[in-house]
Structure 1
């Protein structure tokens, strides 16, 4: 009987290794893409307080869109997410602790609270979204350039511009665009 010739061991990677390598490459690319999207386009956020009741509730989860404010300023009535400005950091809030409020005053506008109403440039805002009218008075203040006046919809229980002052534009992260949880309240904000 003649012995069979010895086979050379294969130097090319096994098909299983190729499949693993392709999957690792896809996973790395997806992770990089997700990080880019989160950093520059949109990110999920969690509502930790009741300052935006009834519009947003504790535990709501939102998509925060980050692109539009690179090309335009926030509009009155938009709900924005922002990092604490220096005056909030001085109160002990960390730099990465996000806040969410509604834009009430833009640069150059005058904001005042009296007789249960918020006035912008001496005109009462129509605010069907608030929990209840404000029970406090705030003298007229003019919003400086590159800053905004923001308030929570739960006017009487909100740590907002009427307490700590104006929000500099550079602290704005983006605008609340869409609620994706809880499922029974999915929709635009």
Structure 2
């Protein structure tokens, strides 16, 4: 039988462990949680088997990297937000135009540099050709992978509901040489 002092110590240790477990559960459920990237659609920004931290808090903005429930299968996708409600989107000669204004995409620089000849990295399109409307309606997002030639994204499955967003990618913790904030 344990002494009174040993029982108190055991109780204190178990209570502390219990509090830590509950705190981690709450933190993971409501704020941040780890995930793994599967596939090459976000390469080179995020690559297959990268380990990332996703934030469930905060506002989603254009060019954020997000994780969302896939509209076409029982899975989650990681993509970049290209258009938000009210936006018009057009790609012309490998240049993104949002609401008629040219936008630079520095996260595509490495992949574009590897292209040979006059081939386009991102094929020309207008939002209307993809979704049948000129602007993104309230409650929806237009998303694309950074590896435009190997990405199943809004160009194929259309807009995603904002309520399908699980969270924003904030941090990569594996592989160790790429440890840090994402682009």
Superposition TM-score, scaled by structure 1 size:
0.80
1:85-144 superposed Cα distances (whole Å, 9 cap, x missing partner): xx32xxxx21xx321111100101111233333322233321121223534333333211
Q: Distance in 2 between matches of 1:22 and 1:83?
A: 41
Q: Deviations over 1:23-61 (max 9, x none)?
A: 221111111111111111101111111111111111211
Measure, in 2, the Cα distance between the counterparts of 1:183 and 1:37.
Answer: 24
Q: Secondary structure at the match of 2:149?
A: helix
Task: Specify the alignment match of 2:174 in structure 1.
Answer: 181
Question: How many matched pairs?
Answer: 167
Match of residue 98 from structure 2: 120
More deviation, 12-21/23-32 = 12-21
**Root-mean-square deviation (Å):** 1.9
Picking from 157, 171, 175, the partner of 1:164 is 157
Q: Secondary structure at the match of 2:106?
A: coil
Using the alignment, how far apart are the partners of 2:9 and 2:47 within structure 1?
45
- 5+ residue gaps, structure 1, are 1-9
After superposing the two structures, state which structure 1 stretch, 128-137 or 22-31, moved more. Answer: 128-137
CA distance in 2, matches of 1:113, 1:20: 64
Q: Which runs of 5 or more structure 2 residues have no equivalent in the other structure? A: 113-119, 129-134
Residues 91 and 122, structure 2, Cα contact 8 Å, conserved in 1: no
SS in 2 for 1:32: helix
Distance 1:115 1:83 in 2: 31
Structure of greater Rg: 1
Query: Does residue 1:22 correspond to 2:12, yes or no?
Result: yes
**Bigger shift: residues 160-169 or 106-115:** 106-115
Would the alpha carbon gap of residues 68 and 135 (structure 1) be closer, same or farther in structure 2, given more than 3 Å must change?
Answer: closer
Q: Scaled by the length of structure 2, what TM-score is found?
A: 0.82
- Bigger share in helix: 2
